[in-house]
Amino acid sequence: MAYIPQVRDAKFNLFEWLEIDSILKHPLFSDFKKDDLEMIVDEASKLARNAIAPTNVDGDRIGAKYDNGRVIVPASFKKVFDDVASNGYIGSTANPEFGGMGLPECVGTAINEFIIGANCALSLCLLLTRGTAHLIESFGSEDLKNLICEKMNTGIWAGTMCLTEPQAGSDLGDIKTKAIKQPDGSYHIEGQKIFITWGEHELTENIIHAVLARTPEAPVGAKGLSLFCVPKVRINPDGTLGEDNNVTCGGIEGKMGIHGSPTCTLIFGEKGATKGWLLGRERLGLLYMFQMMNAARYEVGLQGLAVASASYENALSYAKERKQGRPYDNKDPHHPQIFIIGHPEIKRTLLEQKSTLEAMRALQFYTAFCMDKAKTSEGEEKNYYQGYVELFTPICKAFCTDNGFQITSMAMQCYGGYGYTKEMPAEQSLRDARIAPVYEGTNYIQAQDLVLSKFKMQKGEPVRALLKMIKEKAQSLLNDQFFSKCAKNLLDAVELTSNVAEKMMAQEKDLLFISLNAYPMLMMMGETLSGYFLLSQAEIAKKKLQEIKESSNKDEKTLLEENEDVKFYHNKVVSAIFYSSRILPFVKARYESIKEDKSAMDVIF
């Protein structure tokens, strides 16, 4: 089935909901006019749909293959990788000084959502390449920046993130890979990394690995780690490729999904010296690495959205084609079979998928917009938006990936038995979606980051400001003719969420309460934010609907049938009502469930 990118909703987020004009005024983005941006979004969606998506099945069925140190990915990947690179999409938001397009992050989000939705396995290579390039730009020497960054942002070379080792997964403080300083200022890297995404392949002539390693005298734990730039092939001072750098791929994992993305074991310094170049200063490696990890956490959240959105769209198309059963209110066997979209249960589950996806998209776009605001403002305003970016990052990652998986599962359910077969795309999406809650810091690690670190940032100012903003929005609509019920549900949710957040901030000593409830807290935050975003989008949609109706002499029914915008705005309003009535009440259930219960600590396994 075809990939259907959600261009209309992306454009609604960018041009009707977010105040994009406020960032386009800034010199950083003032070269871009709205029309240019719309065109860029349209073009990216076409490439995703027409060129990238057809390679997705190759990724799954052929997959990446290991052959005596070499890793071969499906042949169709090379052409689309080069297409993506030549269109500038690897470095779409990167610095133009280093080969990037310099687009706002929120526009990059639209482009990336489409590419990920079209082929998630391939998109991981792009994520890691731009992330490594940005690390080198931020912390590398002038020589490294000039030799490497442009080549990566333009897809001549690729990149990876080498953190995990057999004994060091969630806790990177146990990393053992060694880095030994050499008289020429470089380091010899010795050790083994596992699970390295796109750690070896032949799509590009070189791969630049960002490696966390420990120098001989460094203390144990995370504070002893330093960050190194380790090329697969050494780079001559004039930028040409030199000797092989002895980075060996020892094998790739056989895994449940994203088969097109090779997950590699890499061995450094076994065949001969592997040279690495220090980024920044020794022992600050993990701190630097957080730049890449945070960007990757945000983008893995986008994966949750993109894969699920693709799956939902396919399920929706199927539901309009598959005939089965009779109407719920007419079981006469003489009645012709109906399309399954006519069953209230199918409609309900599709709407649950749609409304949650729209909330996830709003969260991702809003977070990207905050990144842009932080880049284009100063002082208190900058702090405010930066605080939101940091607060939202673990929520984007965990909320969008866990919901993403649930949605791909709901989408599969809409097909009945056919969904479980390889004939339909639902089963690949479900398998591809399952990794996102795991890697880039498991979702539980995200929840801990939220409550133990992000809640306490700036003495709790960002989380309090956010919850206050939501409360004020809910209160302002309590007497609204149309949205009062939604506002009441949102107010209930935000009050309970604030209550638990305050309790967590106050009860620093009750670490058990925090540890047991970090994840439900993260979900309460995600659901409350979703209710807020959907309501604020619905308000705009309602106004636009009103304007169209007033300027037309057609009745509502005709407009709904004929006018795609009317249908879009109408459905936006329905999404907000559905989410508020059927999902927001779960915030109360979560609140009740975590108030006192500590039974998990009583079980004897």
Ligand X SMILES: Cc1cc2nc3c(=O)[nH]c(=O)nc-3n(C[C@H](O)[C@H](O)[C@H](O)COP(=O)(O)OP(=O)(O)OC[C@H]3O[C@@H](n4cnc5c(N)ncnc54)[C@H](O)[C@@H]3O)c2cc1C
| Binding region for ligand X (CB under 6 A) | 161-164, 169-170, 195-197, 255, 263, 435, 438-442, 444-445
Q: How far is the CB of 351 from ligand X (least distance, A)?
A: 32
C-alpha torsion 594→596→602→603, nearest 10 = -30
Closest CA to 17 of 480, 555, 535: 535
Question: How is residue 20 written in tokens?
Answer: 């994009």
**Largest alpha-carbon pair distance within the chain?**
88
Question: Of these residues, 440, 461, 562, 592, which one is catalytic?
Answer: 440
At residue 210, φ and ψ (nearest 5 deg) are -95, 115
User: Of the two residues 59 and 419, which places its CB atom closer to ligand X in the complex?
Assistant: 59
CA distance 1 to 548: 34
Contact in structure between 227 and 289 (CB atoms under 8 Å): yes
The residue number with the shortest CB distance to ligand X is 169
Q: How far is the CB of 160 from ligand X (least distance, A)?
A: 6
Q: How far is the CB of 456 from ligand X (least distance, A)?
A: 18
Contact in structure between 60 and 259 (CB atoms under 8 Å): yes
Closest CA to 598 of 488, 517, 481, 508: 517
User: Of the two residues 263 and 429, which places its CB atom closer to ligand X in the complex?
Assistant: 263
User: Of the two residues 39 and 256, which places its CB atom closer to ligand X in the complex?
Assistant: 256
Spell out the SS3 assignment of 246-259: CEEEEEECCCCCCC
Q: How far is the CB of 537 from ligand X (least distance, A)?
A: 33
User: Of the two residues 104 and 285, which places its CB atom closer to ligand X in the complex?
Assistant: 285
User: Of the two residues 131 and 419, which places its CB atom closer to ligand X in the complex?
Assistant: 131
Q: How far is the CB of 153 from ligand X (least distance, A)?
A: 19
Task: Establish whether 137 is a catalytic residue.
Answer: no
Q: How far is CA 361 from CA 219, 278, 356, 454, 588, in A?
A: 42, 37, 9, 22, 24
CA distance 537 to 517: 30
User: Of the two residues 170 and 593, which places its CB atom closer to ligand X in the complex?
Assistant: 170
Spell out the SS3 assignment of 169-222: CCCHHHCCCEEEECCCCCEEEEEEEEEEECCCCCCCCEEEEEEEEECCCCCCCH
Q: How far is the CB of 161 from ligand X (least distance, A)?
A: 5
Q: HSE (CB half, 13 Å, CA atoms) of 424?
A: 26
Catalytic residue set: 440
